[in-house]
Chains A and B, each alone.
Chain A
Amino acid sequence: MRKISLSKLPELFSAIAKTSALYLPVDTKAGAKFEAWAVGKTLSNALNTVRSAKDFFFPQTENLMDFKVEGKNIELIDTRKECEDFVLFGVRACDVKSFEVLDRVFLAEPQDTYYKNRREHALIISTACNKPQETCFCGTFGIDAAEPSGDIVTYRTDDELFFDAKTEKGKKLLDALSSITEEADEKAVDQQKALIRERLQKLPLKDLKTEGFGSGKTAEFFDDPQWKELSSACLGCGTCTFVCPTCQCYDIKDFDTGHGIKRFRCWDSCMYSDFTKMSAGQPRLTQLERFRQRFMHKLVYYPTNNDGLFSCVGCGRCLAKCPINMNIVKVMKALGGREDA
């Protein structure tokens, strides 16, 4: 265990940035956002970023390959490049868990090399959540905000930041920072963990349970009459899917730059009417079916294929951002998983 005084954070960031690119949450006009660190940028105090950390591994848009077309001939240009090492600082427990959820999709055979490339070059420094929000429910999914995963876990007290390296990669970085950090015992961290756990007990959604949902439960929920009411006000905008750290649906499209074709991937949303539309028909005709797909995927389909792991990490972003305030908590409470169930 190492520690550093909070007043020395700029030195810490500067030292990390010397080894590789460093991204950390900073405050912007539109809320907290992961940005590349530069001298003068300070760490945000916000609990979480508006957009999730998935952007680093699964960006909203990315170029997959280029084509040059001449007459009847096509030249395929592999534009992939080895990603440079980077450090993600200040990732919360929920977002760290979301990487595992994404890994099970993108790193399942056949592996997505674009994702894998970035994932392998990232070092995750997580931060325990001193002040969780009322919209937090990571505990529902077995995540402990007092004990995040990551290559290095950090704990922040009033005046110090503590580091606990969890992986070889993390230890190596922490060793490299030994000249500006000092040895620390576990006491302050244990106190901090106890404080966080006490706070987690005060969260209004702490009793939300996943019981009833999970692997193989399609028939129980698919035809539930409540989907109609739950989905009735849904605008179909897809904001929930875009701010969600675990939503991973994508589209592949071509863009003619005038000098060649770029084939790019971009986020897509099951909430959109064209998601499943094809020449031969549309299997999900109304917003009810699209809305149901999103929640069934997170609570039933994904767990069925992934040893019971849910595709939600309780970060609360959808609770904060849905224009009509409909979200997975309301769905779970309506369909089951109630405290009293």
Chain B
Amino acid sequence: MPEMKEPLMPVIGVVTDIRIDTPDVKTFRVVTPDGKKAFEHKPGQCAMLSVPGVGEAMFSITSSPTNEEFMEFSIKKCGCVTDWLHAMEVGQQITIRGPYGRPFPVDTEFTGHDMLFIAGGIGLAPLRSVINYCRHYRDRYGKIDIVYGSRSMQDLVDYKEIIDEWATDAGVSVHLTIDREQPEWDGHVGFVPNYVKELGFTTDKIAILCGPPLMIKFTLQGLQEMGFDKTQVYTTMELRMKCGIGKCGRCNIGAKYVCKDGPVFRCDELDELPDEY
């Protein structure tokens, strides 16, 4: 019996580093007790983290698969499990299982294309994995544009990495914006959907969107007005999940299960789902 691999059975992970990103987002570095990565994943996939006694929750894996040492999760404090995760210290063990879901088609549809990443708030977390993957295999992709916005300067996740690493890469352009003026901010001010329109991208790109539902809605509208086809636009979804393997029924929309058929969807695929997300 124990030799049968049980998909609901996690492994133990150790939190080896906790970075405070914003007032409500922390990034946790996780390895197994013997210092290895818990499992391999692809960009866009998720993992189920848990604190025994508190509960399990699904998070997108923020680190790129090209990182061979550890996994990272950028987590916003917004419920039982995340409250607990935010309160813990380095050295704490948690449980981890995965990887779950359909990843971004980084090695197929994306290769050879210019990439346009558009994220709002904590929505950068799932995109960071793809962005760093594309940066790692730089020659497989064309020009990379990253549009990222948040409520305030303090709410920009991974700010240091964005400025020090992404913005200095050749062929990578970073466009940051915040919702309202701040004295110490000399960058762009305004909402993401409007900023995307102002920047006026050419339509020969693959666009990847992640952020609050309203941001996704208006940005997608904007992209379509600019001439993008829905088949060029990808997003990643969030629904309540328990099993991660398409059985518990919770993330069922139409005939799809977000945990297994998603979380990554091409926007034209979303049209086939009932409007219930």
Q: Do chains A and B touch in the complex (CB under 8 A)?
A: yes
Residues of A within 8 A of B (CB): 64-65, 67, 69, 72-74, 76, 78, 80-82, 105-106, 108, 110-114, 116-117, 216, 218, 222, 248-254, 256, 261, 263, 265, 268, 270, 275-281, 283-284, 289, 293, 296-297, 300-301, 304-305
Evaluate contact between A74 and B93: CB separation under 8 angstroms. Answer: yes
Q: Apart from A74-B94, A116-B4, A278-B79, what are 10 other A-B pairs with CB-CB below 8 Å?
A: A65-B8, A67-B52, A108-B247, A218-B272, A222-B254, A250-B242, A277-B240, A278-B239, A279-B78, A301-B254
Tell me if B239 and A270 are in contact (CB < 8 A). Answer: no
B170 touches A (CB below 8 Å): no
Question: Which residues on B sit within 8 Å (CB–CB) of A265?
Answer: 8
- Known A250-B242, A253-B55: A74·B12 in contact at CB below 8 Å: yes
Interface string of B241-277 (1 = CB under 8 A from A): 0110111111111110000000000000000101011
Q: Which 6 A-B pairs give the minimum distances between C-beta atoms?
A: A249-B249, A67-B52, A304-B255, A279-B78, A110-B7, A279-B79
Which chain B residues lie closer than 8 Å to A256 at the CB level?
53
Chain A hits for B79, CB < 8 A: 278-279
What does DSSP make chain B's interface, helix, strand, loop or mixed?
loop
Measured between beta carbons, the chain A residues less than 8 angstroms from B82 are 279
Contacts A74-B95, A80-B1, A279-B78 hold; do A300 and B255 have CB atoms under 8 A apart? yes
Interface pair A280/B78, CB less than 8 Å apart: yes
Question: B52 contacts A261, CB within 8 Å?
Answer: yes
How far apart are B247's CB and chain A's nearest CB, in angstroms? Answer: 5
Residues facing A in B211-263 (CB within 8 A) are 213, 238-240, 242-243, 245-255
Residues of A close to B251: CB separation below 8 A: 276
* Bound Cα distance A6, B91 (Å): 67
- Binary contact track B9-24/A, C-beta < 8 Å → 1, others 0: 1111000000000000
Least distance between B4 CB and chain A CB atoms (Å)? 5
Query: Which residues of chain B are within 8 angstroms of A278 by Cβ–Cβ distance?
Result: 79, 238-240
Decide yes or no whether B204 CB sits under 8 A from chain A.
no
Q: Given A254-B55, A268-B249, A76 and B242 touching (CB < 8 A)?
A: no
Contact residues in A for B78 (Cβ distance below 8 Å)? 279-280
Is B163 close to A, CB under 8 A? no
> Which residues of the other chain, A, contact B277 by a CB distance below 8 angstroms?
283
- Cα distance, A250 to B248, chains bound together (Å): 5
Please, how many angstroms separate the alpha-carbon atoms of A304 and B11 in the complex?
Answer: 34
Smallest CB-CB separation from B8: which chain A residue? A64
CA of A300 to CA of B253 in the docked complex: distance in angstroms? 11
**Quick check: is B154 within 8 A (CB to CB) of the other chain?**
no
Evaluate contact between A248 and B1: CB separation under 8 angstroms. no
Min CB–CB distance B33 → chain A (angstroms)? 9
Contact of A249 among B1, B92, B93, B248 (CB under 8 A): B248
Cα(A261)–Cα(B50), bound, Å: 12
